[in-house]
Amino acid sequence: MHTALFSSGKSVSDDLYKASSIPRYIAVEGPIGVGKTSLAKRLARSFNYEILLELSEENPFLERFYHDPRQMALATQLFFLFQRAQQIQDLRQDDMFEPVRVADFLMEKDRLFARQNLDNDEFSLYEKVYEHLTIDAPQPDLVIYLQAPVEILMERIQKRGIESEQLIEQQYLEKLIDAYTEFFHYYDDSTLLVVNSSDIDLVNNDEDYEQLLDFILTTRKGSRNYFNPKPSLL
C-alpha cells in the first residue's frame, strides 16, 4: 500500500490518495539560491516520495565557469545536458516513472540556462546536440516556481557558503531571474504554483511550510496559482 506521510503526522490511504488531487510528480524550480533543493527534500519527506536532484557538484566545469563564464559556458552546459539526459534514461530503465517523486529541476531549465550562457554559435551547436539525444522526460503534475529578488538571492548564496558560488555576479543573477520570469509567464504544460519566498522560510519555519503544504493539497489541477502569505511585507 502506498501511504503519503505529512509533516503533521497524517497519512493518506491508497483509495483516498487516488481520489484526491495530490500530485504524484512535483518539480521545484527557480534561480540559484532560491531554495529549491531544500524545499524538494522537505516535500519528499512529507509525502514519502522518491527524490530526483540536480547533481551540480559532479560537473567538473562548473567552478571554472564561475571564474570564466565566457570560456567555460559550452562545456559546462553540455555536461549538464548529458547528465540530465542520463538521469532520465536511468529512471526509464529502472521503471521508476510509476512511483511518485519530487525533483528540484525541470528538463526545460537546461535550455533556459543554455540560452543565457552561450553565444549564438554555441547555442546552435547545443540545440543540435539536444535534438540528437533521446530525452523523454515526463511532465510533472505540479511545478512549484520559487521567486525572490536578486538581493535576497545574493544574501542566501553568501550565507550557504559554497566557495564557487561566491563568484556569482549580481548581473548574472538578474539575467537569470528575467529568463525564469519570461519562461513561467508562458508555461502551461503542468499545474503551476508561483511562490514568493522573499519573506517566508519554507525549510526552517514549520508554520510557513504547513501553509504551503495545505495550499498544495487544495490546488486545482491544470491551474496557475500564486502563494504569497505575507503580502503586507512586500
* Selection from 193, 170, 196, 31 nearest residue 113 by Cα: 31
Q: Any catalytic annotation for residue 199? A: no
31 SS3 class:
coil
Q: Which of 15, 104, 136, 178 is catalytic?
A: 104
* Selection from 47, 50, 52 nearest residue 20 by Cα: 47
CA-to-CA separations, 170 to 63, 65, 165, 176, 177, in angstroms, rounded:
17, 15, 11, 10, 10
**Residue 130 parent element (H or E):** helix 120-132
Report the C-alpha gap between 150 and 41 in whole angstroms: 23
* Selection from 177, 179, 194 nearest residue 143 by Cα: 194
CA-to-CA separations, 161 to 36, 59, 111, in angstroms, rounded:
16, 18, 27
Please, is 101 exposed, middle or buried when counting C-beta atoms within 10 Å of its C-beta (0-12, 13-18, 19+)?
buried
CA-to-CA separations, 229 to 26, 164, 198, 220, 221, in angstroms, rounded:
21, 33, 11, 18, 21
* Selection from 214, 191, 221 nearest residue 6 by Cα: 214
Strand pairing of 11-12 and 101-103? unpaired
Q: Which residues are the active-site residues? A: 104
